[in-house]
Structure 1
Amino acid sequence: MALTEEQKKLIQNFVSQPLFRQHGGLMTDLDGTIVLHQNGNFSIPPEVQAGLNKLYQSNCPIILNTIRFPLSIIKTFAAVLYPLAQKPIPVISLNGSQWGYILLGENQEYRFIEAGAQPLIPADIQSCIADVRLLVQQQVPNIAAFYYPRDWTKGEIIWTPAENKVAELAQSYPSASHVYSSSLAILENNLNAEEISMIFLLGKKDHLAATFLQRNFKDFYTTTGVNKLTGAHAFVNQLGRTLNQFIGAGDTPMDVFLQETGAVIKVGNLPLDFDCQAPILPVETVAELGEVFTPMAEACSVTNPSYQL
């Protein structure tokens, strides 16, 4: 894809604004946006790595805003992104529930330092438990609850009501730190025993009896109102920056932070299902996003940047 002159001008005009340099940057989703998924493997295409490298060299702030949990980001992408950034990487994780920095520790191991969080409140956990209970009662197949403690070192934990599904789930989700089966009461006790950032509920809800089809079953449970947009506001406000001075990049309806960024780069053809307040620059593939990053880097290069996050 070759950017049109109009598209290049849109980027250059936005990035060259003093407010962008003082209060903005790039906020980008990972999967499907800068990360390519092929045959079960995840990678950041060389074109995108080159573009990110130019942005980092020009001191443009880059914040990752992703559904992934911190340990997953560390294990999958830190070894690629940190050498490009050469400094702590700002991250909003778990659908806006937890944010902070990925950095390289003294022992040369990557770690996450939390800067803020919005964990589930007890009422939200009880709402999830009620939904799980109903799915179990209705004998919905392949029920599994994926949950993510605020203690990022615990990673991803998977619960299933079916003991015979434990080995299968462990094989299907090697990212999980622990897979177990228990009674629903034990699951409830575990969820209430510590702060939980997010729960993902897996189950074939189309198997529910007709009387339950209108119930608002969720896939992702965060504390009420928390999503990628609220997480974005919380983090950038904490940094003394403003979301509408950021360029946003994303690819799915979950990337709701795009609603309020000052410019939008949309990757792929999936409808966003929401309106954006800013112009949208569409790109067809993940690899083509690298071409957009190059004029961004050229426009935001400054001799005395105040871009440190």
Structure 2
Amino acid sequence: MALRRQIHEELKAFLAEADFARTGALITDLDGTAVHEFEGRVVIPDTVARGLKRLNDLGRPIVLNTLRFPLNVIRTFGREWYAITNAPLPIVSLNGSVAGYLNKNAVDEIVFEELEAFPLEQHEIDELLIGVRGLLENGVNELLVFYYARDWRVGETIWTPVKEKVPHLRAKYASASSIECAPFEDLRAALLARDLCMIFLLVEASQDRLMAYQHAKRSNFVTRRGVDKLYGVRAVAKRLGVDLQASVGCGDTAMDSFLSGVGLAVHVGSTDLEYKGLLRTVQIAGSHELGELLFRLAGLESEAPQ
């Protein structure tokens, strides 16, 4: 696929304005941006892998910035990502609340090594639980609480108030390490028993049912106050010595707040995102065109006078 001339010119202008070649990085969301699902399997398109490999060969850091939890990234396509750089791979996970590296251990397994973590405060968990209790007291049992421990090995735990739903949930959410059904007070104790980086509340009731509890949202990602994908990538950038204004960010949803903190923001897909790059913003059709953009970016960098 030939990259549109307008985008080619935007890349050239960005490289003239920012020191991407020495201090920049590529920061990318995963789902809907750099990976897609094919026959039930999440894959990295060949064009994206080729573009990433070329950028890595030129010495540009690649940072993954995703809602996924580290164990899920490792189990689904961590080895494929690691193979692109064959070196510790920076990752910002769980909406900015934990960051570190995907790395190989002594027995050739891909593991997560934490650099930064911003677990929830107790009062933030209690605030969420007020909402959960209110829903339950108003007869809204169609809710799920997903929670993610700072200890990446724990993975994803899901709580439901309805015991009969457990088998269905096990089949639907195969990535979960545990599906639990327990009294509300046991849920509270579990949430406060260890550092948690993110909680996701999903309410599957109809809007009419939700009117019984007017403050309820259908879905709600809860991280420590002020922590999101932009906050997390700023923390990692300091560790890596990366200048975000000289960096390229790629994303596709309103969760991708880090796009407003990079020099060149790449909007992937047709969604009209509010986040604009500090220097420039471009929009492309999908992951395959993203791969072409990354390959062209690497080519322009290599041609630039040193």
CA distance in 1, matches of 2:275, 2:50: 31
- 2:282 counterpart of 1:281: yes
Pair 1:302–1:69, CA change in 2 (3 A): farther
Map of 1:294 onto structure 2: 295
**1:9 positional shift:** 2.6
SS class of match (2:188): helix
Map of 2:233 onto structure 1: 232
- Structure 1, unmatched stretches of 5+, are none
Pair 1:170–1:217, CA change in 2 (3 A): closer
SS class of match (2:19): helix
Q: 8 Å contact 2:265–2:276 — kept in the other structure?
A: no
CA distance in 1, matches of 2:294, 2:239: 25
**1:10 positional shift:** 1.9
- 2:44 counterpart of 1:48: no
User: Aligned letter for 1:125?
Assistant: I
Q: 8 Å contact 1:23–1:241 — kept in the other structure?
A: yes
Map of 2:152 onto structure 1: 152
Map of 1:254 onto structure 2: 255
**1:146 positional shift:** 0.7
| TM norm structure 1 | 0.92
User: Aligned letter for 1:86?
Assistant: N
With 187-196 and 137-146 compared, the bigger mean Cα shift is at 137-146
Pair 1:243–1:165, CA change in 2 (3 A): same
CA distance in 1, matches of 2:31, 2:185: 34
SS class of match (1:194): coil
Map of 1:66 onto structure 2: 66
SS class of match (1:287): helix
User: Aligned letter for 1:190?
Assistant: A
**1:211 positional shift:** 5.5
Pair 1:94–1:138, CA change in 2 (3 A): same
- 2:174 counterpart of 1:174: yes
Pair 1:256–1:228, CA change in 2 (3 A): same
Map of 1:264 onto structure 2: 265
Alpha-carbon displacement from aligned partner over 1:107-162 (angstroms, at most 9, x marks no partner): 01110000001111111111111111122222224311110000000001111111
SS class of match (2:224): coil
CA distance in 1, matches of 2:122, 2:303: 47
SS class of match (1:182): coil
CA distance in 2, matches of 1:26, 1:295: 13
Q: 8 Å contact 2:25–2:242 — kept in the other structure?
A: no
RMSD after superposition = 2.1
- 2:3 counterpart of 1:3: yes
**1:93 positional shift:** 0.2
SS class of match (2:255): coil
CA distance in 2, matches of 1:150, 1:18: 35
Map of 1:98 onto structure 2: 98
Map of 2:80 onto structure 1: 80
Q: Work out the percentage of aligned pairs sharing the same amino acid.
A: 36
Q: State how many pairs are aligned.
A: 304
Map of 2:32 onto structure 1: 32
Q: 8 Å contact 2:103–2:112 — kept in the other structure?
A: yes
**1:172 positional shift:** 0.5
Q: 8 Å contact 2:96–2:233 — kept in the other structure?
A: yes
Q: 8 Å contact 1:58–1:298 — kept in the other structure?
A: no
Q: 8 Å contact 1:263–1:280 — kept in the other structure?
A: yes
SS class of match (1:79): helix
With 59-68 and 206-215 compared, the bigger mean Cα shift is at 206-215
With 229-238 and 269-278 compared, the bigger mean Cα shift is at 269-278
User: Aligned letter for 2:21?
Assistant: R
Pair 1:274–1:56, CA change in 2 (3 A): closer
- Structure 2, unmatched stretches of 5+, are none
SS class of match (2:128): helix
SS class of match (1:288): helix
Q: 8 Å contact 1:104–1:111 — kept in the other structure?
A: yes
- 2:118 counterpart of 1:118: yes
CA distance in 2, matches of 1:168, 1:216: 23
CA distance in 2, matches of 1:111, 1:152: 9
Pair 1:39–1:138, CA change in 2 (3 A): farther
Q: 8 Å contact 1:253–1:271 — kept in the other structure?
A: no
CA distance in 2, matches of 1:25, 1:104: 22
**1:215 positional shift:** 5.1
